[in-house]
């Protein structure tokens, strides 16, 4: 069943709504405050609610998820067309099917490329996120980066596995086409172009000659299709290698983040110990200072008593 892709329209509508909210935010704020005041029963006196917008990379993750779903659907449709294409049919024009296979293969390859580019953008930090991270703690920033890298690695692995499956399906289809081409070539090979017309007339009827010509044309079309599929497999190999490199790099980054978090935790514990020791020392110092002051006061009082007893 044919479907229509409405994702781009949805994204454009969403961005338009966001911009409209930005312009009309000042006008609608008063009515929102009155409504909240009536609901709370505090005559409109309340603290404004602050709702933090989700980070940009979460939207990218959603877009990649959508791309993956679209790739799976396209692959299922392409697999059905492959099965129809491999059915033994003679004298049937496959040009429309071949064109459909070519277009769908290009679309799937383009979606793989788009998914790879989007996955690489997940680790990029925008200026707004950089400002937010400056105001946060080191350990909290490391946790946020770890979550982001985990999401990026998971998506990269998923796209890599999907790309591997698509390459295997394409190679399987390519092999089946090659085998079918060999069988058709065997039929064509029976005809020898060096024989004279009289011998051909004796061996072949007009219907058989027409079938041979159709088979030769079909073999040439299959050769073109094989070349195009081979090119798409080469493009997928590039995507597969890039995703493999990305997974390895993100694994290294995760190891570094885990190490930094561990070292930060150790440093925090050591700092707590030192602070506790300093606090204990400060308490002991205060006690000693009080004792010293009491001793000085006692000594002064003894001297005063002695002077009083000596003087008349």
Q: What is the pLDDT of residues 96-134, one digit of tens each?
A: 777 888 888 888 888 888 888 888 888 776 666 666 666
Tokens of 256: 């570094």
The CB-based long-range contact list for 73-80 (8 Å cut-off, 24+ gap) reads 73/3, 74/104, 74/107, 74/108, 74/111, 75/108, 75/162, 75/165, 75/166, 75/169, 77/104, 78/104, 78/105, 78/108, 78/169, 79/169
* Tens digit of each residue's pLDDT (9 = 90 or more) over 236-278: 666 666 666 666 666 666 666 666 777 777 777 888 888 887 7
Whether 51 has a pLDDT exceeding 80, the answer reads no
pTM value is 0.49
* Tens digit of each residue's pLDDT (9 = 90 or more) over 54-97: 777 888 888 889 988 999 998 899 888 888 877 766 655 667 77
Q: Which residues, including other chains, have CB under 8 Å from residue 242's CB and lie 6 or more apart?
A: 116
Between 56-85 and 138-189, two packed helices, what is the crossing angle to 10 degrees?
10
Sorted by where each begins, the domain ranges of the chain are 1-51, 58-86+94-122+136-268
* Tens digit of each residue's pLDDT (9 = 90 or more) over 145-180: 777 778 888 888 888 888 888 888 888 887 787 776
**Helix (H), strand (E) counts: the chain:** 7, 0
Q: What is the pLDDT of residue 24?
A: 45
CATH of domain 58-86+94-122+136-268: 1.20.58.70
Q: What is the pLDDT of residue 5?
A: 58
* Tens digit of each residue's pLDDT (9 = 90 or more) over 211-232: 555 555 655 665 666 666 666 6
């Amino acid at each position: 069943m044919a479907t229509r892709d409405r994702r781009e329209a949805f994204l454009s509508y969403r961005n338009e709504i966001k911009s409209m909210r930005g312009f009309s935010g000042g006008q609608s704020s008063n009515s929102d405050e009155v409504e909240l005041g009536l609901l709370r029963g505090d005559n409109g006196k309340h603290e404004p609610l602050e709702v933090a917008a989700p980070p940009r990379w979460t939207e990218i993750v959603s877009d990649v998820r959508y791309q993956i779903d679209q790739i799976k659907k396209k692959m299922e449709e392409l697999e059905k067309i492959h099965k129809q294409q491999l059915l033994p049919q003679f004298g049937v024009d496959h040009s429309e099917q071949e064109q459909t296979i070519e277009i769908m293969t290009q679309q799937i390859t383009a979606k793989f490329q788009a998914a790879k580019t989007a996955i690489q953008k997940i680790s990029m930090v925008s200026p707004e996120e950089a400002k937010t991270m400056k105001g946060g703690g080191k350990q909290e920033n490391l946790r946020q980066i770890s979550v982001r890298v985990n999401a990026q690695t998971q998506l990269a692995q998923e796209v890599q596995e999907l790309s591997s499956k698509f390459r295997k399906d394409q190679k399987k289809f390519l092999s089946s086409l090659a085998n079918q081409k060999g069988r058709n070539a065997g039929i064509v090979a029976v005809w020898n172009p060096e024989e004279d017309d009289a011998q051909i007339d004796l061996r072949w009827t007009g219907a058989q000659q027409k079938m041979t010509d159709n088979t030769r044309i079909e073999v040439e079309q299959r050769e073109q299709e094989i070349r195009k599929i081979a090119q798409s497999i080469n493009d997928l190999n590039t995507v597969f290698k890039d995703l493999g490199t990305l997974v390895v790099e993100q694994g290294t980054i995760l190891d570094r983040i885990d190490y930094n978090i561990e070292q930060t935790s150790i440093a925090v514990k050591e700092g707590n110990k030192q602070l506790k020791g300093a606090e204990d020392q400060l308490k002991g110092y205060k006690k000693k200072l009080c004792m010293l002051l009491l001793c000085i006061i006692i000594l002064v009082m003894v001297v005063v008593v002695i002077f009083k007893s000596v003087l008349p």
